Amino acid sequence: MHTLSQLKSGELIGTKHLKLAEGLTVFPLEILTLADTLEVLDLSGNALSSLPDELSKLTKLKIIFASNNQFDTLPAVLGQCPELEMIGFKSNHINQVPEASLPPKLRWLILTDNRIEVMPDSLGERPRLQKLALAGNCLTALPQSMAKLENLELLRISANNLQQCPEQLFQLPKLAWFAFAGNPFCLSTLKVKTVPSVSSKQFELAELLGQGASGVISKASWNGNHAGFPADIAVKVFKGEVTSDGYPEDELQACLKVGNHPNLVQSLAQVSEDGYLALIMNLIPAHFSNLGLPPSLKTCTRDTFPAGFTLPIADIAKIIQQMEDVFAHLHDNQVCHGDLYAHNTLFDADANIIFGDFGAASMYHMLTPQQQQQIRTIEQRALHHFIDDLLSVCADADKDSKTYQDLLERI
């Protein structure tokens, strides 16, 4: 984090990454003094509502974040920034996206949680676009021009007002991670009761285990009798608003619809009270750890791994076999996970996996048989990327093995 006083004093001359969050209401023109070097500009968490035309003078700017501000229009000047690849304007008040606001080299666009009703046709004229997050808006349709986005890999359109299934997306050759729940075209009245309902008063939350876009997971203990349940449990308390992936209720229903599987986090009970939505799950043993790390700004859609991390080919083969079984189970139950990644997978020393995080999951039993098959085909690509990512960390000594070659041919 930098300060405005540092910027004005000239202390930040030469910086490549600037982050300012001081309740700004006006864009500090002193930022232009960094034009020779600035590549990443983060103005999130201010009170900005416009950007000056002079922004285009930042000729090296590649990434701009301005989430949690007061914009009602995506600034048209963004389209004049020659090297700009990534735009993040989450949680503003944006209801207008001008045709000219999308830069020619756009690769990653995040407009989650705004008020957008229409996306411009120019969206389909951005051939480098790989990642597009539009969840939590007011879209009633998507531009037909999106059928030309041949490099689009990840798409979030959940929690909108889309009336028709956007079939122009189904022929995109690289689309692999797709979240679409919470729209009229896939409306479900299904209320899954594969687990019992309990009261939030029946357990006590303890230490924090983790948190994500849709909720907070804590270790918990039962208050009194817990007959029929294990003593050690984890509880995910959902946030009460739209997330980067959609509505918490859709996540809960998809998770329950899938039911139990030995390689999925096991659901035990649910809480559905006014203002309190939660899922009680088995506590994952402490010896499990994350298989991968989330994508970076550089990799965009592909997972990363710790430096030096490798796996023997026997472990990779075992992990892949389990994930293929999980994939079949999900789609046999007509649920698209939407986030099939190594970073959502836990593993142990024996290469046993536990897969979770249903924040981007979408039920699709209400779609036509052809549409259902197309959804499955999309997520099959994510499975292939999962295999490819694991092969990228295969131990060098195993890369000549028959198992390695066999797995490589399945991608």
**CATH assignment at residue 299:** 1.10.510.10
Asked whether residue 195 is domain-assigned, the answer is no
pLDDT class of 292 with cuts at 50, 70, 90? very high
Task: Check whether 287 has a pLDDT greater than 90.
Answer: yes
At 165, give phi and psi (nearest 5°): -60, 125
Strands 154-156 and 131-133: parallel
Q: Are residues 158 and 69 in the same domain?
A: yes
Distance CA 368, CA 94 (A): 33
Q: What percent of the chain has pLDDT over 70?
A: 100
Q: Are residues 164 and 208 in the same domain?
A: no
Binding-site annotation, residues: 236
Summary mean pLDDT of the chain: 95
Q: Are residues 169 and 254 in the same domain?
A: no
Strands across the sheet containing 276-282: 203-211, 215-222, 233-238, 276-282, 267-273
Q: Which amino acid is present at 3? A: T
Start-to-end CA span in the chain (Å): 41
**CATH assignment at residue 108:** 3.80.10.10
Which CA distances in Å does 203 have to 26, 221, 283, 339? Answer: 48, 5, 14, 30
Asked whether residue 192 is domain-assigned, the answer is no
pLDDT given at position 370: 98
Q: Are residues 262 and 377 in the same domain?
A: no
pLDDT class of 239 with cuts at 50, 70, 90? confident
Is 89 in contact with 66 (CB distance < 8 Å)?
A: yes
Task: Check whether 85 has a pLDDT greater than 90.
Answer: yes
Is 177 in contact with 197 (CB distance < 8 Å)?
A: no
Task: Check whether 42 has a pLDDT greater than 80.
Answer: yes
Distance CA 310, CA 169 (A): 36
Total structural domains within the chain: 3
Please identify, among 186, 216, 240, the residue that sits at the C-terminal boundary of a domain.
Answer: 186
Please identify, among 154, 186, 218, the residue that sits at the C-terminal boundary of a domain.
Answer: 186
Q: Are residues 332 and 379 in the same domain?
A: yes
Domain that holds residue 51: 4-186
Q: Are residues 125 and 45 in the same domain?
A: yes
Q: Are residues 141 and 15 in the same domain?
A: yes
**CATH assignment at residue 261:** 3.30.200.20
Q: Are residues 42 and 160 in the same domain?
A: yes
pLDDT given at position 376: 98
Once rounded to an integer, what is the mean pLDDT over residues 38-46?
Answer: 98
331-342 residue pLDDT tens: 999 999 999 999
> What is the value of pTM for the model shown?
0.94
Q: What's the full length of the chain, in residues?
A: 411
Please identify, among 233, 252, 282, the residue that sits at the C-terminal boundary of a domain.
Answer: 282
212-227 residue pLDDT tens: 778 899 999 999 888 7
Distance CA 213, CA 359 (A): 8
Q: Are residues 147 and 74 in the same domain?
A: yes
pLDDT given at position 226: 80
Q: Are residues 233 and 308 in the same domain?
A: no
Asked whether residue 83 is domain-assigned, the answer is yes
pLDDT given at position 199: 92
Is 317 in contact with 373 (CB distance < 8 Å)?
A: no
Asked whether residue 277 is domain-assigned, the answer is yes
Task: Check whether 243 has a pLDDT greater than 80.
Answer: no
Task: Check whether 187 has a pLDDT greater than 80.
Answer: yes
Asked whether residue 191 is domain-assigned, the answer is no
Binding-site annotation, residues for ATP: 236
Which CA distances in Å does 144 have to 117, 120, 171? Answer: 15, 10, 12
pLDDT given at position 249: 86
pLDDT class of 164 with cuts at 50, 70, 90? very high
Once rounded to an integer, what is the mean pLDDT over residues 308-332?
Answer: 98
pLDDT class of 23 with cuts at 50, 70, 90? very high
Once rounded to an integer, what is the mean pLDDT over residues 239-254?
Answer: 82
Asked whether residue 247 is domain-assigned, the answer is yes
Q: Are residues 212 and 96 in the same domain?
A: no
Q: Are residues 214 and 305 in the same domain?
A: no
